[in-house]
């Protein structure tokens, strides 16, 4: 089996029974903030795009690049579809001209021609991307690959039961705006960033150990930031609080815990994976590439500047009345929301900074009273400060997911009083009736699910499944004193009170363990 790196979470898998192109991403995403790193725009996409199968893991824009798919990927390709509860991914791909689909069933192996076997696991909580994220398992001639990409399943049992995996691709770096955009002292930001960076690696080691694959491929990040406004987010300044470490840092950190089977794929690297071995050829030696990372980024910045400027010129829509439009779009959603609105339960403030930085209009989404209105000099637990043109553009393009556009762009600053509130981002991911209905139904089911099993962790007897997204705490739970940390997303719980310390969320059931 041959695996060609195509950048970020992308790869092309070639077998004697056909080729699968996964998540090809080339064009900038999220308001021209994210670019694939290293640059993959010079690859021979005409050839790579002549593929038998296409797998798009989910609709985040660093995985789903409609412009690129339309231009370069053969419409004769058969799409391997995850089993998502909404048809949005299929609809988007049909719109681009794809007509052949294999609708896989969640966690069921699907037999394709020539002995090619695939299984896709779909994660469907409202926080897993825009209603979904997925991983692809593939087997041919006794060689097995798990492309976990940036999905975070509670465990890898479904893949492990299918036999030893030879190549495991997974995310290790950051893909979020925390803590960089938060208005807080630099020292605190660095400390939170360091915690986040460590947690990302801990989670990665856990998945790697759990599957025990022959070879491990760090993928799905980091992106690079080429706009001058965002340049500081690249991990080239020796900042231990930077959440975007690259593949060379992965190899270094992995070596510290004894990991020696890491394989880095640059765009254009080709790995020949067999049941016994993995031989890789690179377009440039990996060490040499990372030693010149800064130079690579600077040259890339110069090349991409016109693209960024062209995008920026499309954002302003002065004819749009932002307050009126937000009111019209969001109030019906607020009315139909039970769990999300209650979970937020306070005003969220948006400060819209004018084109010339001269005026700021403040708008409040009031989750208690289910209305959108002008800010009234009140206390808002969450606040976002954002340039007006970005919100105008979201309204103009009728964007139904502000997480997969505005928030991932990192082009804003945020304030927060108290703990993280996951419901806020669930709301901004669900700005259509269909998504809101789905998310509300999911929370309803989640809340009703009875979780009665307990396990022993340290000196405590605790519920087996994490109250957040049901990770198995036998694997992801770590007790330190009176604090339980679930390493899947890093949420912490105070064991004596059960209270969640990380977020406004359900607490954990815990009592001191009594042997016998
Ligand atoms: S499942 Fe998310 S922190 Fe446990």
The predicted structure's pLDDT at residue 27: 98
Q: Is the CB of 493 under 6 A from ligand 1?
A: no
Q: Is the CB of 251 under 6 A from ligand 1?
A: no
The angle that helices 186-211 and 247-256 make with each other, rounded to 10 degrees, is 70
Ligand 1, atom nearest to 470 Cα: 1
| Chain-centroid distance, C-alpha 185 | 26
Interatomic CA distance for residues 391 and 409, integer angstroms: 12
In 3D space, the residue among 134, 510, 489, 127 whose CA is nearest the CA of residue 339 turns out to be 127
Interatomic CA distance for residues 124 and 469, integer angstroms: 11
Interatomic CA distance for residues 483 and 491, integer angstroms: 10
For a pocket test of ligand 1, which of 422, 465, 469, 475 has the largest count of ligand atoms closer than 8 A to its C-beta?
Answer: 469
Q: How far is the CA of 428 from the centre of ligand 1 (A)?
A: 20
The predicted structure's pLDDT at residue 130: 63
Q: Is residue 300 within 8 Å of 308, Cβ to Cβ? A: no
Token pair for 36? 């694939």
Q: How far is the CA of 82 from the centre of ligand 1 (A)?
A: 22
Helix (H) or strand (E) holding 110: strand 110-111
The predicted structure's pLDDT at residue 503: 78
**Burial (CB count <10 Å: 0-12, 13-18, 19+), residue 377:** exposed
Ligand 1, atom nearest to 154 Cα: 1
The predicted structure's pLDDT at residue 418: 86
The predicted structure's pLDDT at residue 450: 67
The angle that helices 322-336 and 433-448 make with each other, rounded to 10 degrees, is 40
pTM for this structure? Answer: 0.90
Interatomic CA distance for residues 477 and 492, integer angstroms: 10
For a pocket test of ligand 1, which of 196, 466, 504 has the largest count of ligand atoms closer than 8 A to its C-beta?
Answer: 466
Interatomic CA distance for residues 414 and 179, integer angstroms: 9
Q: How far is the CA of 71 from the centre of ligand 1 (A)?
A: 39
Token pair for 412? 């804003």
Closest residue (by CA) to atom 1 of ligand 1?
469
The predicted structure's pLDDT at residue 59: 94
The predicted structure's pLDDT at residue 334: 95
Residues in the chain: 516
Mapped onto helix, strand or coil, the DSSP state of residue 461 is strand
Strands (DSSP E) found in 141-246: 143-149, 167-171, 215-219, 224-225
Interatomic CA distance for residues 82 and 104, integer angstroms: 6
Q: Tell me what percent of the chain is helix, strand and coil, each rounded to the nearest 5.
A: 30, 25, 45
The predicted structure's pLDDT at residue 129: 65
Q: Please measure the distance between the N-terminal and C-terminal CA atoms of the chain and give it in whole angstroms.
A: 52
Mapped onto helix, strand or coil, the DSSP state of residue 473 is helix
Q: How far is the CA of 249 from the centre of ligand 1 (A)?
A: 25
In 3D space, the residue among 31, 67, 110 whose CA is nearest the CA of residue 399 turns out to be 31
132: left (phi over 0), alpha (psi -120 to 50) or beta: left
Helix (H) or strand (E) holding 361: strand 360-366
Q: Is the CB of 491 under 6 A from ligand 1?
A: yes
Over residues 129-169, the pLDDT tens digits come to: 667 899 999 999 999 999 999 999 988 999 999 999 999 99
- Bridge partner list, 273: 278
φ/ψ of residue 390, rounded to 5: -65, -45
Strands (DSSP E) found in 182-330: 215-219, 224-225, 270-273, 278-281
Closest residue (by CA) to atom 2 of ligand 1?
489
Q: How far is the CA of 476 from the centre of ligand 1 (A)?
A: 8
Over residues 348-376, the pLDDT tens digits come to: 999 999 998 779 999 999 999 999 999 99
For a pocket test of ligand 1, which of 419, 489, 492 has the largest count of ligand atoms closer than 8 A to its C-beta?
Answer: 489
Q: Which positions of the chain have pLDDT values less than 50? A: none
Q: Is the CB of 471 under 6 A from ligand 1?
A: yes
Interatomic CA distance for residues 146 and 139, integer angstroms: 9
What is the C-alpha R_g of the chain?
A: 23
Residue 413's contacts (CB-CB under 8 Å, 6 or more residues apart) are 181, 182, 183, 384, 385
Q: Is the CB of 466 under 6 A from ligand 1?
A: yes
């Amino acid at each position: 089996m041959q695996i060609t790196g195509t950048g970020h979470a992308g790869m092309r898998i070639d077998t004697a029974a056909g080729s699968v192109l996964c998540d090809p991403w080339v064009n900038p995403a999220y308001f021209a903030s994210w670019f694939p790193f290293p640059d993959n725009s010079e690859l021979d996409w005409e050839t790579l795009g002549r593929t038998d199968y296409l797998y798009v893991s989910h609709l985040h824009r660093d995985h789903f690049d409609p412009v690129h798919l339309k231009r370069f990927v053969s419409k004769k390709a058969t799409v391997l579809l995850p089993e998502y509860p909404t048809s949005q991914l299929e609809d988007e791909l049909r719109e681009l001209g794809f007509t052949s689909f294999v609708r896989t069933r969640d966690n069921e192996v699907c037999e394709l021609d020539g002995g090619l076997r695939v299984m896709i696991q779909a994660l469907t909580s409202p926080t897993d991307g825009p209603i979904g994220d997925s991983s692809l398992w593939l087997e041919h001639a006794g060689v097995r690959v798990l492309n976990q990409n940036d999905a975070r399943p509670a465990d890898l049992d479904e893949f492990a039961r299918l036999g030893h995996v030879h190549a495991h691709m997974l995310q290790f770096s950051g893909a979020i705006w925390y803590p960089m955009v938060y208005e807080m002292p630099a020292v605190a930001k660095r400390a939170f960033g360091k915690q986040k960076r460590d947690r990302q690696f801990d989670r990665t080691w856990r998945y790697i150990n759990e599957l025990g694959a022959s070879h491990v491929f760090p993928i799905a990040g980091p992106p690079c930031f080429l706009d001058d406004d965002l340049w500081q987010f690249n991990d080239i300044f020796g900042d231990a609080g930077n959440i975007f470490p690259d593949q060379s840092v992965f190899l270094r950190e992995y070596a510290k815990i004894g990991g020696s089977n890491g394989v880095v794929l640059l765009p254009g690297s080709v790995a020949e994976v067999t049941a016994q071995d993995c031989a890789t050829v690179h377009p440039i030696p990996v060490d040499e590439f990372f030693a010149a990372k800064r130079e690579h980024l600077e040259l890339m910045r110069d090349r991409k500047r016109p693209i960024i400027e062209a995008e920026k010129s499309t954002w302003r829509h002065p004819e749009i009345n932002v307050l009126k439009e937000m009111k019209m779009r969001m109030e019906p959603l607020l009315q139909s929301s039970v769990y999300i609105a209650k979970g937020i339960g306070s005003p969220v403030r948006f400060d819209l900074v004018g084109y010339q930085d001269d005026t700021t209009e403040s708008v409040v989404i009031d989750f208690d009273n289910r209305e959108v209105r002008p800010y009234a000099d009140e206390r808002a637990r969450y606040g976002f400060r954002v340039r007006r043109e970005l919100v105008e553009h979201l309204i103009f393009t009728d964007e139904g997911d502000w997480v997969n556009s505005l928030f991932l762009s990192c082009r804003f600053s945020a304030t927060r009083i108290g703990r993280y509130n996951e419901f806020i981002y669930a709301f901004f991911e669900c700005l259509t009736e269909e998504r809101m209905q789905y998310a509300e139904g999911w929370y309803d089911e989640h809340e009703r699910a009875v979780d009665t099993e307990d396990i022993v962790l340290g000196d405590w007897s605790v519920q087996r499944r994490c109250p957040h997204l049901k990770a198995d705490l036998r694997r992801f739970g770590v007790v330190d004193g009176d604090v339980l940390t679930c390493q899947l997303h890093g949420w912490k719980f105070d064991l004596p009170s059960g209270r969640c310390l990380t977020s406004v969320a359900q607490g954990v059931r815990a009592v001191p363990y009594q042997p016998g």
